Structure formats: structure tokens, C-alpha cells
Amino acid sequence: MPYKVAIIGAGPGGALLARELARQGVVVDIYEKGTFEELGHDWSDAVELIALERAGFEMPRLEGTEWNGVLVKTRPGEPGLFEKHAVPVLQIRSPGQVSTKQAAFRMITTDRRQLGQTLVEQALAAGAAIHYHNEGQKLLFNEKDNSGLENITVYGAVIKNLATGEIFKINADLIVESSGFQSVLRRSLPASSGLANPFTAEDFALVHREVRGYAPGAKGADVIPDHYRYGFHGGYQWTHIHNEENIDVGAGVKNDPANPDPQSIIEEFISRHPAINVEKHRGGRSFCIVGSPLNSFVTGGFLVLGDAASTSVPTTGCGAGSAMLTALSAAKVISEAAAENRNDLEKLWAINTDFYRKSDRGPSFAALSVLRDALQSFSHEELDYFYAKDLLDSTTLQNAINGIYRPLSAGQVIKALRAVARMPLLLGLNRAVVKATRLYRHYQEYPETWNKKHFHKWLKRAEELRN
């Protein structure tokens, strides 16, 4: 019998995984609730360069402040994977805009709709099948007892055809959830799995973005640099120039009713900049997952991928690149599992190991999530102070924006100790950094292979450090 994988959701991670597995001869079916025309978001977004490169896309050449290559849009509105304007160096501004840092930006502005459609086309060309208008409802599984992750084996899923209303069951050796942060499938598992808890309100930011016309030359000297205003209302406000005619203006805020609506933030910003035109070309709003990643992405017969596993960069919410990188590492493990006709937890555990132990991503994301939570407790004035005193310096901010956590250097500690006038404030920052650093080092010791005793001991310590 051929090894079968069913992927629920055709996001970047799911579609790339389908492509890689189909190329290895695995039977792959994708179930997607939307249509081909609806794949991806209706905007361009920052995606990690390394993820696109490892996925096999021909990467453009950086020439000054422009990208050039076969996949770069030659004119606004024309097909192309990448926007022409490059952001090799990004301005990071404090919430009150009293301090500005410079940071190397390791991402490229990518048309998310074009990316989604291209990856699905590549998966189909490799031999995968896709079924549109089909939404996952719940998992089908066997449970030996209620003692934990190792006693659950998923063997199928319940699917609803949204066009006809038909509800049916599918069976597969491996079910992959790549359906977004609502993560309906994993939440249908029993609580004993440790995978069933829904994300909380604190795990999200509310984001609104619009692509507007841009004409700086026609409106005087209203030149708007690419920038992140980081820490603003527990989130960020940004502008990214796409090309000589379009600019992306957006804001994300901590998911808290006390915060202003991000749409009102960008409308106020646009009102102060006559170079930004009234007409909106693309855009939208959504919740964005920024919480810590799941402690395990797998159980027997099941894998959680992308936003459903909360693997976005916690400091920005950028998730496509992380989902793609996880998909590439998972494809290797699953291909080996298929060759051995296995789908057990012990075999799939290597997906966890790749993310948490062999890669710096898992430990960094766990630590950055904790640090982000702490920084959201400080006022704009307090964050401005951290920027001004270089406690949040260019290197720290550059790492954080790019999804990298590094403990404070000795030089930063010395600077902090000299600022005795704000000692209570600095002690609060120090507590946050100590907590994040301890969690970072603990995640570096993630269990390399599945062992119930070792994992539960590790998990208990992770919860102690986090709480």
C-alpha cells in the first residue's frame, strides 16, 4: 500500500510540504477551504530570504535599493513574486519616535498571493492532488488511555465540502494541519495530548495594512523611509515602499480592547503625509499569531504546521518563512517515515528536534515571546528610555526583528547599572531578560529523541520558567 499524507490547508507550509513529499513519490492530497484564486493574502509581506532560497526560488540580485531578477515585478501591478524596492537597512523607531536605530533586514517583500499560488502549482506539477472547497472539521484517532501524547494515534479526519455541504471521512498514514491559527484539528484531540489547548487572546496581535498609491515627487519633499515603529501600543507601525508608485502602510497592536484600532493608526499617519494617495489598491486586516510555539508539533499520525503551531516570528508576526522552513525539515523526516512505512511518535519526533535543538529558531522564538510579553508591560515613555540609553540597541533590535534572541552583552549590563536614576525600571527589564535567557537555554536542551519521562521533565521545567 502506498504511504498517504493528507494536508489540511494550502498555506505556504502545507503547499511546500506537499511539493517535497510528492517529489519523493508519496501520495499527497491537499484539502483547501478556498479556491485557487483566493490562495494567499491580498498583499505583499516580508518573508525571510533564507526560506525562499531554500525552497528553490531564483533569488534576485540586490543593486543599490532595488531587487533585479526574473521573479521581480518590472512594473507595479504586473505579475511577479518580489516587489522591486529593497530594504537592506531598516529604520527601527522608538514608540515616541525620539530614537532611531538602523538594522539589517533579512527579509524580502513578497507577493503573498503569488507565493501561495506558485507553491500550489509546483505541488500539483510534482504529483500532489488538491481538493478545493473542503474544510477540516476534526481528527479521527485511537487513544489507548488518557496518559499522554504517546497513547494517541491519528488515522484520519472529518472533512466538509463547503460547496455541497457533504461531510465525509478521509484516512491517511499522516494528517497534517496547515489551516491557520484557528487550528481546529489539533483542538479536537483529547486534553491529555497536550496539543488541544486553544490559543489565548494574549497570543495574538490585531493587524491592519493597506497598499496605497505613492507619489513623493509630485507632493514636495514628503519622503517616507521604510521603518518599523517598534513597541507602539504593544506592537508596531510600519511603512514599506513597494515601488515608485505604491507604499505599504500598516500597524499591529497588542490584542487588547484598550488599544486603538490599527486602522485608525494608519489613517492618522496617512493624513499627515500628502505623498500617500487616497485610493487603496490592496490590503486587509486579521489577527496575527505571535505566541510561543507549541511544545510538540507531532503525535502518532499527525503533524501541526505553520500558524496552527504558532511558529511565526513573535516580534513581527511574520509566519510564511517559518512555516516553509519547518515544512522543508519535516519533509525529510516524513520521507524517511514513508520509506519505513512508519507514522509513530518516535519517528516523527525528529521534526520537533530539528526546530528546537538543531535550529536556533525554536529557542529564539520561545525567548522572544517571553521578552515581547514583558516589553508590552512598559509605557511608551519607558520604552523610549530603553532606546535612548541603548538598552535596546541596534544589535538587539536587529536580532529581534529577524527572529533571533541573544542575551544582553556585558556592555549593555554595565550601561544599565550606570542608569541608577531609573533603577526600578531597569530591574523590571532585567527580570524579563533573565526569564527569557533561562527559557532560551532550556529550549536548547529539548529532548533529542522521544522519551516520555525526559519530555515531561523538560516540559514541567519549561512551564516553571515561563510562569
Mean pLDDT, range 139-143, rounded to an integer: 95
Residue 291 binned pLDDT confidence (cut-offs 50, 70, 90): very high
**Structural domains of the chain, count:** 2
Condensed to tens digits (0 to 9), the pLDDT of residues 221-241 reads: 677 888 999 999 999 999 998
Judged on CB neighbours under 10 Å (0-12, 13-18, 19+), 17 is buried
User: What is the model's pLDDT at position 218?
Assistant: 63
Condensed to tens digits (0 to 9), the pLDDT of residues 375-397 reads: 899 999 999 988 988 888 899 99
User: What is the model's pLDDT at position 279?
Assistant: 82
Residue 409 binned pLDDT confidence (cut-offs 50, 70, 90): low
Mean pLDDT, range 105-118, rounded to an integer: 95
- Does a structural domain hold residue 221? yes
Residues spanned by the domain of 403: 366-443
HEC-encoded secondary structure of the chain: CCCEEEEECCCHHHHHHHHHHHHCCCEEEEEECCCHHHCCCCCEEEEEHHHHHHCCCCCCEEECCEEECCCECCCCCCCCCECCECCCEEEEECCCCCCEEEEECCEEEEEHHHHHHHHHHHHHHHCCEEEECEEEEEEEEEECCCCCHHHEEEEEEEEEECCCCCEEEEECCEEEECCCCCCCCHHHCCHHHCCCCCCCHHHEEEEEEEEEEECCHHHCCCCCCCEEEEEECCEEEEEEECCCCEEEEEEEEECCCCCCCHHHHHHHHHHCCCCEEEEEEEEEEEEEECCCCCCCCEEECEEECHHHHCCCCCCCCCCHHHHHHHHHHHHHHHHHHHHCCCCCHHHHHHHHHHHHHHCCHHHHHHHHHHHHHHHCCCCHHHHHHHHHCCCCCHHHHHHHHCCCCCCCCHHHHHHHHHCHHHHHHHHHHHHHHHHHHHHHHHHCCCCCCCCHHHHHHHHHHHHHHHC
- Does a structural domain hold residue 155? no
User: What is the model's pLDDT at position 145?
Assistant: 79
Residue 331 has pLDDT above 90, yes or no: yes
C-alpha to C-alpha distance for 383 and 374, rounded to whole angstroms? 11
Residue 417 binned pLDDT confidence (cut-offs 50, 70, 90): low
Residue 248 has pLDDT above 80, yes or no: yes
Mean pLDDT, range 81-110, rounded to an integer: 93
- Does a structural domain hold residue 216? yes
Condensed to tens digits (0 to 9), the pLDDT of residues 72-88 reads: 998 877 889 999 999 89
Residue 311 has pLDDT above 60, yes or no: yes
User: What is the model's pLDDT at position 448?
Assistant: 96
Whole-structure pTM value:
0.95
Residue 424 has pLDDT above 90, yes or no: no
In this structure, what CATH number is given to the domain that contains residue 218? 3.30.70
Among residues 257, 289, 321, which one ends one of the domains?
289
- Does a structural domain hold residue 110? no
Residue 219 has pLDDT above 60, yes or no: no
